[in-house]
Amino acid sequence: MNLVPLYAIVRVIFTITDEGTILASNKARAFFALSGYHFNPDDITRLLGIEPTSINAAGANSGLDKPVISSWELSTETVTDDVDVYKMTDSILKQLEPAREKILQVIKSHNLSPRLGVVLVLSIDKDETCPDVGFGGRTTRFMADIGAFINIDYQLSERI
Protein backbone atom coordinates (compact mmCIF):
# COMPACT_ATOMS: atom_id res chain seq x y z
CA MET A 1 0.00 0.00 0.00
CA ASN A 2 1.44 3.38 -1.05
CA LEU A 3 1.07 6.08 1.55
CA VAL A 4 0.85 9.75 0.58
CA PRO A 5 2.21 12.24 3.12
CA LEU A 6 -0.62 14.08 4.85
CA TYR A 7 0.83 17.48 3.92
CA ALA A 8 0.42 16.59 0.19
CA ILE A 9 -3.29 15.95 0.67
CA VAL A 10 -3.84 18.92 2.96
CA ARG A 11 -2.26 21.41 0.48
CA VAL A 12 -5.15 21.01 -1.93
CA ILE A 13 -7.57 22.44 0.60
CA PHE A 14 -5.54 24.80 2.77
CA THR A 15 -2.07 26.03 3.72
CA ILE A 16 -0.53 25.91 7.19
CA THR A 17 1.76 28.90 7.78
CA ASP A 18 4.99 28.88 9.80
CA GLU A 19 3.02 30.43 12.66
CA GLY A 20 0.54 27.53 12.60
CA THR A 21 -2.29 29.58 11.09
CA ILE A 22 -4.40 27.63 8.61
CA LEU A 23 -5.32 29.50 5.40
CA ALA A 24 -7.81 28.32 2.79
CA SER A 25 -6.77 27.98 -0.86
CA ASN A 26 -8.49 29.71 -3.79
CA LYS A 27 -11.86 28.25 -4.76
CA ALA A 28 -14.13 29.03 -7.70
CA ARG A 29 -17.07 27.90 -9.75
CA ALA A 30 -18.70 29.26 -12.88
CA PHE A 31 -22.36 29.07 -13.81
CA PHE A 32 -24.93 30.05 -16.41
CA ALA A 33 -28.37 30.88 -15.06
CA LEU A 34 -31.78 31.75 -16.43
CA SER A 35 -33.90 33.61 -13.88
CA GLY A 36 -37.36 35.08 -13.94
CA TYR A 37 -40.84 35.18 -12.48
CA HIS A 38 -43.67 32.67 -12.87
CA PHE A 39 -41.88 29.88 -14.72
CA ASN A 40 -41.20 26.24 -14.01
CA PRO A 41 -37.50 25.36 -14.47
CA ASP A 42 -38.49 21.83 -15.52
CA ASP A 43 -40.07 23.37 -18.64
CA ILE A 44 -36.72 25.01 -19.47
CA THR A 45 -34.91 21.68 -19.05
CA ARG A 46 -37.38 20.01 -21.41
CA LEU A 47 -37.20 22.81 -24.01
CA LEU A 48 -33.39 23.11 -23.98
CA GLY A 49 -32.59 19.43 -23.65
CA ILE A 50 -29.84 20.30 -21.15
CA GLU A 51 -29.87 18.91 -17.62
CA PRO A 52 -29.21 21.72 -15.10
CA THR A 53 -27.01 21.31 -12.04
CA SER A 54 -29.62 23.09 -9.91
CA ILE A 55 -33.06 24.63 -10.13
CA ASN A 56 -35.23 26.80 -7.91
CA ALA A 57 -38.92 26.53 -8.71
CA ALA A 58 -40.09 28.94 -5.98
CA GLY A 59 -41.69 31.28 -8.51
CA ALA A 60 -43.50 28.60 -10.51
CA ASN A 61 -46.67 28.92 -8.45
CA SER A 62 -46.26 32.35 -6.90
CA GLY A 63 -49.09 34.83 -7.13
CA LEU A 64 -49.03 38.02 -9.15
CA ASP A 65 -49.31 40.09 -5.97
CA LYS A 66 -46.07 38.62 -4.53
CA PRO A 67 -43.88 37.41 -7.39
CA VAL A 68 -40.98 35.11 -6.54
CA ILE A 69 -37.99 34.37 -8.75
CA SER A 70 -37.34 30.91 -10.18
CA SER A 71 -34.00 29.90 -11.67
CA TRP A 72 -32.41 27.27 -13.88
CA GLU A 73 -28.63 26.88 -13.46
CA LEU A 74 -25.83 25.03 -15.21
CA SER A 75 -22.67 25.08 -13.09
CA THR A 76 -19.16 23.71 -12.98
CA GLU A 77 -17.87 21.85 -9.96
CA THR A 78 -16.18 24.04 -7.38
CA VAL A 79 -12.47 24.04 -8.20
CA THR A 80 -9.94 24.38 -5.39
CA ASP A 81 -6.41 25.72 -5.69
CA ASP A 82 -5.68 25.76 -9.47
CA VAL A 83 -8.47 28.12 -10.58
CA ASP A 84 -8.84 28.69 -14.34
CA VAL A 85 -11.87 30.88 -15.05
CA TYR A 86 -11.31 30.69 -18.82
CA LYS A 87 -11.44 26.89 -18.71
CA MET A 88 -14.50 26.80 -16.44
CA THR A 89 -16.56 29.20 -18.54
CA ASP A 90 -15.45 27.45 -21.73
CA SER A 91 -16.78 24.13 -20.42
CA ILE A 92 -20.17 25.73 -19.80
CA LEU A 93 -20.15 27.40 -23.21
CA LYS A 94 -19.51 24.05 -24.94
CA GLN A 95 -22.74 22.74 -23.41
CA LEU A 96 -24.75 25.85 -24.32
CA GLU A 97 -23.58 26.56 -27.88
CA PRO A 98 -25.54 23.73 -29.54
CA ALA A 99 -28.74 25.04 -27.89
CA ARG A 100 -28.20 28.72 -28.79
CA GLU A 101 -31.48 29.16 -30.71
CA LYS A 102 -33.47 27.27 -28.07
CA ILE A 103 -31.95 29.47 -25.35
CA LEU A 104 -32.98 32.60 -27.26
CA GLN A 105 -36.51 31.20 -27.64
CA VAL A 106 -36.99 30.38 -23.94
CA ILE A 107 -35.55 33.73 -22.88
CA LYS A 108 -38.14 35.47 -25.03
CA SER A 109 -41.10 33.16 -24.38
CA HIS A 110 -40.60 33.05 -20.58
CA ASN A 111 -39.20 36.59 -20.16
CA LEU A 112 -36.00 35.29 -18.55
CA SER A 113 -32.80 37.05 -17.58
CA PRO A 114 -29.66 35.12 -18.65
CA ARG A 115 -26.46 35.45 -16.63
CA LEU A 116 -22.94 34.10 -16.66
CA GLY A 117 -21.51 34.10 -13.17
CA VAL A 118 -18.21 33.36 -11.49
CA VAL A 119 -17.99 32.86 -7.74
CA LEU A 120 -14.46 33.28 -6.37
CA VAL A 121 -13.19 32.77 -2.85
CA LEU A 122 -9.66 34.14 -2.86
CA SER A 123 -7.01 32.94 -0.44
CA ILE A 124 -5.48 35.43 1.96
CA ASP A 125 -2.25 33.42 1.79
CA LYS A 126 0.39 35.83 0.42
CA ASP A 127 2.14 32.89 -1.27
CA GLU A 128 -1.02 31.79 -3.10
CA THR A 129 -1.29 33.00 -6.69
CA CYS A 130 -4.22 35.19 -7.63
CA PRO A 131 -6.21 33.60 -10.47
CA ASP A 132 -6.69 35.39 -13.79
CA VAL A 133 -10.32 36.32 -14.28
CA GLY A 134 -11.46 36.84 -17.81
CA PHE A 135 -13.50 35.42 -20.64
CA GLY A 136 -12.57 34.26 -24.13
CA GLY A 137 -13.92 35.94 -27.24
CA ARG A 138 -16.35 33.08 -27.97
CA THR A 139 -17.79 33.29 -24.47
CA THR A 140 -18.18 37.08 -24.61
CA ARG A 141 -19.75 36.94 -28.07
CA PHE A 142 -22.19 34.17 -27.11
CA MET A 143 -23.29 35.97 -23.95
CA ALA A 144 -23.74 39.23 -25.88
CA ASP A 145 -25.77 37.43 -28.57
CA ILE A 146 -28.25 36.09 -26.02
CA GLY A 147 -28.34 39.31 -23.99
CA ALA A 148 -26.71 37.86 -20.89
CA PHE A 149 -25.00 39.90 -18.24
CA ILE A 150 -21.84 38.78 -16.48
CA ASN A 151 -21.46 38.80 -12.73
CA ILE A 152 -18.29 38.13 -10.74
CA ASP A 153 -18.84 37.55 -7.05
CA TYR A 154 -15.68 37.43 -4.96
CA GLN A 155 -14.75 37.30 -1.33
CA LEU A 156 -11.62 36.69 0.69
CA SER A 157 -11.27 33.37 2.46
CA GLU A 158 -11.01 33.32 6.21
CA ARG A 159 -8.52 31.64 8.44
CA ILE A 160 -9.68 28.12 9.18
Q: What is the full per-residue pLDDT of the chain (160 aa) written as tens digits?
A: 444 333 333 333 444 444 444 456 788 999 999 999 988 999 999 999 999 999 988 877 777 677 778 899 999 999 887 788 999 999 999 999 999 999 999 999 999 999 999 998 887 777 667 777 889 999 999 999 999 999 999 888 765 5
45 to 9, 72, 106, 108, 144: CA distances (angstroms): 38, 8, 10, 15, 22
Residues found in the chain:
160
Cβ neighbors of 129 (< 8 A, separation 6 or more) are: 26
CA distance linking residue 36 with residue 72, whole number of Å: 9
